Amino acid sequence: MTPTLRKPAEVKSRRRPARVGALASLPLFFPLEGRKVVLAGGSDAAAWKAELLAAAGAEVHVYAEDLGTAFEGVIACETTKGRFVHHARCWSVDSFEGAVLAVADAVSEGEAQAFACAARGMGLPVNVIDKPAFCDFQFGSIVNRSPVVIGISTNGVAPILGQAIRRRIETLLPESLQGWAQLASRLREKTLSLLEAGAQRRRFWERISDLAFSGKSAPVEEEDLAEALLDDARSSAAGKVTLVGAGPGDAEYLTLKAVRALQSADVILFDDLVDDAVLELARREAKRMLVGKRGGRESCRQEDINDMMVSLAQQGKHVVRLKCGDPMIFGRGGEELDRLAAEGIPATVVPGITAASAMAARLGISLTHRDHAQSVRFVTGHSRHGELPETVDWHGLTDTSTTTVFYMGARTAGRIRDRLVAEGLSATTPVVAVSGISRNDEQRWSGSLSELESGVTSLGLDGPMLIGVGEVFQAANRQTGQMEGSELHQHFAAALETIRAENPGTLRLGKTAAI
């Protein structure tokens, strides 16, 4: 079937207009350097708050007759940005004079209420540790790459969750980010005076951002780097293209490098099968152009896509060519790179998780399990004209120590089966077919090679599908059987519960059960 041709079309973001949803509290970043903060209490909990406040540069006035061991250690630390003033007595109303915040670790409700009332009477925001009723603000979890500081709040209802989120974010931010952020702070005034607002400044800061996540440490002497970046920002009239692999569907399969490319793109040319959740990670201002190609469906010509990439890059745009899976595995990435190179346009590739790897992960099967396969092959299921590709070594695909994965083979499943059997592969060879891998509508079928066509047809021919052939998929057949048995058990158990509910006292389960 010859696909109907269509032109690339712009697709508007599905994000709502810039309106902020309901907030449990307003996140604020409050500078404290050189400012007085009152802290009542000498406990370990108070010590932790004191350390945070001093790290922000505050002058922390501590009111406590006695200090715990942890608090004494905090005060003795000489690397603290702020400073401590210990008053070996309880707080009084005049303690709040000149302060900007008040924090306390109160033993009783009465003590907490007295402290909060006195501080509020002086116009100060109050936090009483572990007593939300007396808190005007909370201390959230912090990711510290100062001057980059990320605060995480669950509004006091789930602090452990906040800590878990903090740990997840910390794994995404390299320690070297702190040095690059400090460098950016030093270069800010220079960029404002030497670079034009708009494209030049954005190119400069995008390059700094790329370096910040490169894993390299920021240079101690930045003059040479700064001059090189400034020259690059001023002279980069030409654009560039980044071929990005979006993975098989689930946005969580994206690499960090892919997300960064999306967030720096001016224009995104994306395929039909790219999930909306992936596109929502892109820069808000980026233009989105649908240029998908689907077998047997309305499709854009590859030549039109190539022309568009070249034209946009020549206008100085950063173009992201967003492809499902990996751009270099049946993604025509090579053709696009050849055209860009011929036009002298710089291009880079961000690899993605190819569908075969995602299928293996979803099935819990190793494509090269050493007991069954010593090699793996990825094969296209059709040629340019929709037939089986004749340039494939079909006899070689019958090697029982090789796992074969067919891409785009749904409509040729019957012919794939016939050709493999004709070349000598046993009709009982285990096979699987998975449609919509990692998507909400994912479907699976497993069986033998002789059943392949009917199995594929049962999944439908509209979605993206992979076919796996080889002994490693015998495990998938067993899993399917176990799953079906488990589901039957669940249905049986549900039926028993229904009968019990409708006929209380009439059914007893033991060695036998009569229904």
CA distance 340 to 307: 9
Q: In Å, what is the CA distance from 109 to each residue of 50, 116, 134?
A: 21, 10, 9
Backbone phi, psi, residue 141, to 5°: -75, 145
Beta partners for 446?
A: 432
Residue 372, helix vs strand vs coil? coil
Are 38 and 102 in contact by the 8 Å Cβ rule? The answer is yes
What is the amino acid identity at position 66? D
Residue whose structure tokens are 């922000």: 56
Active-site annotation holder among 266, 271, 275, 326: 271
Tokens encoding 181: 């952020």
- Give Cβ neighbours of residue 9 (< 8 Å, ≥ 6 apart): 289, 290
Q: In Å, what is the CA distance from 378 to each residue of 7, 62, 89, 274, 375?
A: 30, 68, 76, 21, 10
Establish whether 293 is a catalytic residue: yes
Active-site annotation holder among 293, 304, 399, 418: 293
Are 256 and 213 in contact by the 8 Å Cβ rule? The answer is yes
Establish whether 317 is a catalytic residue: no
Q: Give first-to-last CA distance, the chain, whole Å.
A: 55
In 186-342, beta strands by DSSP E: 240-245, 267-270, 287-290, 299-300, 318-323
Which parts of 247-318 fold into alpha helices (H)?
256-263, 276-279, 302-314
Residue 349, helix vs strand vs coil? strand
Q: In Å, what is the CA distance from 432 to each residue of 292, 383, 469?
A: 27, 22, 7
Residues with a known catalytic role: 271, 293
